[in-house]
Structure 1
Amino acid sequence: MYIVIVGAGDIGTPLIEIATAGGNEVVVIERDAAKAEQASREFDCLVINDDATSKETLADAGIDRADALVSTTDQDATNIMVCLLAQELDVPEVVSVVHNPEHMGLFRQIGVNTMQNPQRLIAEYLYRAVKRPSIVDFMRIGEQAEVFEITVKQGAPIAGKTLQEANDAGLLDAEVLIVAIEREASDEPITPRGNTRIEPDDLLTVYSATGATPEVTDVFGHTEDHN
């Protein structure tokens, strides 16, 4: 892919690293001279030290053949201007960071894919790691729903039961779905069925419409969420 990345700051720099390591052709636009110089030293890509809100700068970046543009600056106003220009220039995929939640609607109105306030997401992840150590990994979906990974403890209410038996016993709410099971004895993830038995030490991928609440995690043998 040919990717134009706007911004070589805290968010843009890891993205540049991932994109270049993935074998993509990457062009970076960074207005700050020091950051632009550092990016050009660290990564195998073209770095343009200029203002990305200018069509001329985007043209210099080869925007006419770009498969995607990602705007990562710390200013929502700059990001939205860059995205509008990218859309005007028919870039197929336009993605942006959004720092102020109040601006999400504006980005959606113009049809831009967004990532909301990455710093807050990182902070939430760290807080979750301390508050709910049973949750291995998680992803928020909408306002409440979450997909998370959790290990089944020995003696957990669901341990030793099939999914059908767990449903019959009322252990799994109608809004909770076990999506996948990773088991040490199995080389591949297990796609759960009604007759699939949940065993201690299974790593489950779970969808919960109400999130990873204590009522949900208790079923898998974790009670630390009540603390």
Structure 2
Amino acid sequence: MYIVIVGAGDIGTPLIEIATAGGNEVVVIERDEAKAELVASSFDCLVIHDDATVKDTLLDAGADRADALISTTDQDATNIMVCLLSKELSIPKIVSVVHNPDHMDIFRQIGVNTMENPQRLIAEYLYRSVKRPAIVDYMRIGDEAEVFEITVKEDSPIDGKTLQEADTAGLLSAEMLIVAIERNGGGHPITPRGNTRLEAGDLLTVYSGKGATPEITDIFGHYEDHD
């Protein structure tokens, strides 16, 4: 792929590393001279030291023939302008970091895929790790729903039951779905069926429309404070 990356800061630099390592043709636009020089000396990519909010700069970067553009600057206003110009140039895939959640709708209105401020996501992840240690990994979907990983504890309410038995016993609500089961560290997850029996030590991938609340994690034997 031909990818234009705008910004070589804390977000852009790891992205540049991943994109170049993946064999993509990468062009980076960075206004800060020191950052531009560092990227040019560190990665196999073309670096343009200029302002990406100017259309000619994007054209110099070959944006009119790019497969994708990713804007990673720390200013939402800059990212919005870059994305608007990218739409004018008919770049097929446009993605941007969004720092202020209030600006999400603006990006959606102009048809840009977005990623919330990664620093905030990391902060939420760290807080969750302290507050809810039972959750191995999670991803939020919308305002409440979450997909998370959790292990089945021995003698928990769901231990030893099939999914059908757990449903009959009222352990699995209508808003819950067990998506995958990893057993004994196996590399191939088990696809859950009604007659699949859960065992202590199973690592489950679970979808919950109400999130990973203490009432939900209790089912798997992780009894935590309900505050």
Say if 1:225 and 1:89 are closer, same or farther in 2 by CA, change over 3 A: farther
What SS does the corresponding residue of 2:59 show, helix, strand or coil? Answer: helix
Alpha-carbon separation, structure 2, partners of 1:203 and 1:78: 42
The one-letter amino acid paired with 2:15 is: L
Matched residue, 1:34: 34
Q: How big is the shift at 1:197?
A: 0.3
Matched residue, 2:222: 222
What SS does the corresponding residue of 1:53 show, helix, strand or coil? Answer: coil
| 8 Å Cα contact 1:73-1:79 kept in structure 2 | yes
Alpha-carbon separation, structure 2, partners of 1:187 and 1:44: 34
Say if 1:185 and 1:69 are closer, same or farther in 2 by CA, change over 3 A: closer
Alpha-carbon separation, structure 2, partners of 1:39 and 1:153: 47
Matched residue, 1:177: 177
Deviations 1:10-54 (A, max 9, x none): 111111111111111111100000111111111111111100011
Normalising by structure 2, we get a TM-score of 0.97
Q: Are 1:146 and 2:136 an aligned pair?
A: no
Deviations 1:96-142 (A, max 9, x none): 01111111111111100001121110100011111111111100000
Say if 1:217 and 1:41 are closer, same or farther in 2 by CA, change over 3 A: same
Deviations 1:69-122 (A, max 9, x none): 000001010000000000100000000011111111111111000011211101
Matched residue, 1:121: 121
Q: CA RMSD in A?
A: 1.1
Alpha-carbon separation, structure 1, partners of 2:129 and 2:24: 33
How many residues align structurally?
Answer: 227
Deviations 1:175-206 (A, max 9, x none): 01000001117441111000000001101000
| 8 Å Cα contact 1:132-1:225 kept in structure 2 | no
Matched residue, 2:19: 19
Alpha-carbon separation, structure 2, partners of 1:185 and 1:137: 16
The one-letter amino acid paired with 1:116 is: E
Matched residue, 2:84: 84
Matched residue, 2:75: 75
Structure 1 segments (4+ residues) deviating >2 Å: 224-227
Q: How big is the shift at 1:226?
A: 3.5
Matched residue, 1:211: 211
| 8 Å Cα contact 1:152-1:202 kept in structure 2 | yes
Alpha-carbon separation, structure 1, partners of 2:204 and 2:138: 12
Alpha-carbon separation, structure 2, partners of 1:90 and 1:9: 26
Matched residue, 1:8: 8
Alpha-carbon separation, structure 2, partners of 1:22 and 1:224: 42
| 8 Å Cα contact 1:181-1:190 kept in structure 2 | yes
| 8 Å Cα contact 1:131-1:225 kept in structure 2 | no
Alpha-carbon separation, structure 1, partners of 2:88 and 2:11: 25
Unmatched runs of 5 consecutive residues or more in structure 1: none
Alpha-carbon separation, structure 1, partners of 2:120 and 2:94: 22
Alpha-carbon separation, structure 2, partners of 1:225 and 1:151: 18
The one-letter amino acid paired with 1:149 is: E
